[in-house]
Chain A
């Protein structure tokens, strides 16, 4: 069962996705019918406040979380109708990067990037080639023998990106990938994501609470609020004319921050 669905609208198609958690007997509805359509090769931003359910949404895409109902279709494959083995194969086409990097501290940069290639069962020389290519893309060729703990935050995220890209995935899920980095490093990581998007055509779902990140990197975006998408569209339009309360609130905070930064001499 490959779960083929004819003529998908977008490359990444999420429909009426619902997910709730039960915490100490209380039902917490986190996603209450989220629908999204991401074009192939797009960088699509999902913005929302902390606790809005952004991570849950991302984790439903590669099935780290199993939704209660709805559908997630990636490149024509229904992610919710896969056996464990098929799911693992599909996950190799969907890279993921994290706010906390989640690198393996027991492994060198080389071994970290090699991990997904080993999962795929490649030969030693293929792994070596894959690791070196991915390291080259993120500009870390000279750090291959280093251990992650000795790297800066930006370098760690570069390793995370190389590891996520090593298998040349079609989709990259970025869950707050720049949220623990300083502004300058954030910019360089976003620049890198735009580069790999251009170079490999990888579709990126960029999840963040940072306005700047979306504004800088995303062509299209959506606002996640109260478990539903309250606003979506071309980034420029959403920014210039927000409709939802979160959208408006974001814009106001954004404007205030800009003022403060300018008063304080800028960043």
Chain B
């Protein structure tokens, strides 16, 4: 059913038909799976990398100029690649790791390669928000650096870290849709195959609903969590 020969309202109605959703739902779960795994990887590695490049800054807790410069340069390299190019670049890597260059797990490598450096930068900017005075207060009490990182730096910036992670997850969702074109499956794949190549616009509509709902849910969860923490601390 195409918009070219069917009225908008008809396409809209058809997009809620059960046969459409029979095709959409498995793909939606694939997208969720890819997003979930890639988000977990991004959280762990992006977070660790973000903390590392923050504390090793010249004015940081554990200055390490060479490491900081090298890590910053590497992050910038990865960040300068558009997602599409990253997906293509990661095809041989995926073949090396999983023995094949397509499928969800291969796609997750590209998602991680793109989003880990991005989230590292977001984490860095969140951590830099802390007032230097709090770090100095902790130092003045004789606190060691690890304690300052885990008991002061991270808890103080937690609401901002959560909001940053929300941004990263939304980016992962949109990139996973793009990766659909390159054999990853999921909503992006369905949208292109049915909505674009076969002019089944009711399927395209349904894909849009799924993406909008997922992104809204993620954003809502992130906003709510960070707001609850700020409320508890009486900061809003």
Binding site for B on A (CB under 8 A): 59, 62, 64, 87-92, 94-96, 98, 100, 102-107, 115-116, 118-120, 146-147, 149-150, 163-164, 167, 173
Contacts and interface: CB of A to CB of B under 8 A. Distances in A.
Given A100-B131, A102-B137, A104-B134, A115 B142 contact: no
Interface stretch (B47-55, B94-102, B143-151, B209-217): B143-151
B225 to A, nearest CB: 14
A106 B144 contact: no
B156 A88 contact: no
A201 B188 CA distance: 71
A266 B155 CA distance: 45
Given A88-B144, A119-B147, A102 B139 contact: no
A115 B141 contact: yes
16 contacts: A88-B143, A89-B142, A91-B142, A102-B131, A102-B133, A102-B136, A102-B137, A104-B152, A105-B156, A106-B158, A107-B155, A115-B143, A116-B143, A119-B147, A149-B235, A163-B137
Contact of B156 (A98, A106, A163): A106
Nearest to B135: A102
A91 B133 contact: no
Interface size class of B (residues with CB under 8 A): 20 to 34
Given A59-B136, A91-B141, A95-B141, 14 more contacts: A88-B144, A91-B139, A95-B140, A96-B140, A98-B137, A102-B136, A103-B137, A105-B233, A105-B235, A106-B156, A115-B138, A119-B144, A147-B234, A164-B141
B124 to A, nearest CB: 19
B232 A62 contact: no
A164 B140 CA distance: 9
Contacts, number: 78
B222 to A, nearest CB: 18
Given A104-B156, A106-B155, A106-B156, A147 B140 contact: no
Given A100-B133, A104-B155, A105-B156, A62 B233 contact: no
A210 to B, nearest CB: 20
A92 B142 contact: yes
Contacts of B232: 147
A204 to B, nearest CB: 15
A67 to B, nearest CB: 16
A109 to B, nearest CB: 12
Contacts of B133: 98, 100, 102
B233 to A, nearest CB: 5
Contacts of A102: 131, 133-134, 136-137
B172 to A, nearest CB: 27
Instruction: Give the one of A96, A105, A173 with max B CB within 10 A.
Output: A105
A90 B142 contact: yes
B131 A119 contact: no
B59 to A, nearest CB: 13
A147 B143 CA distance: 21
B136 A88 contact: no
Contacts of B155: 104, 106-107
Nearest to A146: B234
